[in-house]
Amino acid sequence: MTQAQPVFVLVRPQMGENIGAAARAMLNFGLARMRLVDPRDGWPNPKAVAMASGAAGKVLDFAGVFPTVPDAVSDCAYVFATTARGRDLTKPIMTPERAMEHARALIASGQKVAVLFGPERTGLENPDIVRANAIISIPVNAEFPSLNLGQAVLLCAYEWMRQDSDRPAEVLELAGTELAPAIEVERLGDHFEERLEEAGFFFPATKAEGMKLNLRNLWSRMPLTRADVQTLHGALRQILRRRDG
């Protein structure tokens, strides 16, 4: 898991719980390379381990600890710095999506990549950011731009995994059944028309054809399963039995 992925560097993190949350978020999305720069409460930190849950043995146990940002990124060819605020520094500014896309390309070419995340209270400072090649700016509410450390890590980690995911954007969970073929939907439409005709629904006669077309269009818009079709047929039959009983 630790091959061919960026290093996430937490710069002067303050709370062990946030380090643990960051580790957990990383592992959620297949990342395990964490480095810490001068953690406020020292290292190792039992609160980080408790918060990380199952990520402790796979992320925290192998986290490197460094005194300064230059030390932490000395072996990296390209460094991103996450910040929500403009810093009056001339650098490319990327969304997390674009940054992780670029990171994948760099890593595929054999380069080491790091992503810096700042301390909870202040975020990254200019002396940290000047070490970076580009800035990651997460689109947030301008009136409330502050993100929790774990949240910022999660967003970048999510974009990292998403770049390599072949999971479709939408799937239909069929819960043990299957979509009804067109002929079954057609027969359901016939059944509804028959019962509605008996009930005098298609009135006045001049509007009947348009009303029937609307109903057929309704069925075609629905991703009906075979179970759905059987349920609706059964409902119509029961209504008829109660009416005639």
In the predicted model, residues of the chain with pLDDT beneath 70 are 1-3, 85-87, 165-169, 245
Burial of 244 (0-12, 13-18, 19+ CB in 10 A): exposed
In the prediction, which pLDDT does 1 show?
47
Contacts of 18 (CB under 8 A, 6+ apart): 51, 120, 148, 149, 150
In the prediction, which pLDDT does 74 show?
95
In the prediction, which pLDDT does 3 show?
61
Nearest to 43 by CA among 70, 76, 75, 66: 66
In the prediction, which pLDDT does 18 show?
96
pTM of the predicted protein model: 0.76
In the prediction, which pLDDT does 244 show?
79
Antiparallel, parallel or unpaired: β 64-66 and 34-37: parallel
Report yes or no: 134 and 156 within 8 Å, Cβ to Cβ: no
In the prediction, which pLDDT does 232 show?
95
Cα-atom radius of gyration of the chain, to the nearest Å? 29
Query: For the segment 39-94, what is each residue's pLDDT rounded down to a tens digit?
Result: 999 999 999 999 998 898 999 999 999 999 999 999 999 999 998 765 678 889 99
Q: Give 114's strand partners.
A: 7, 79
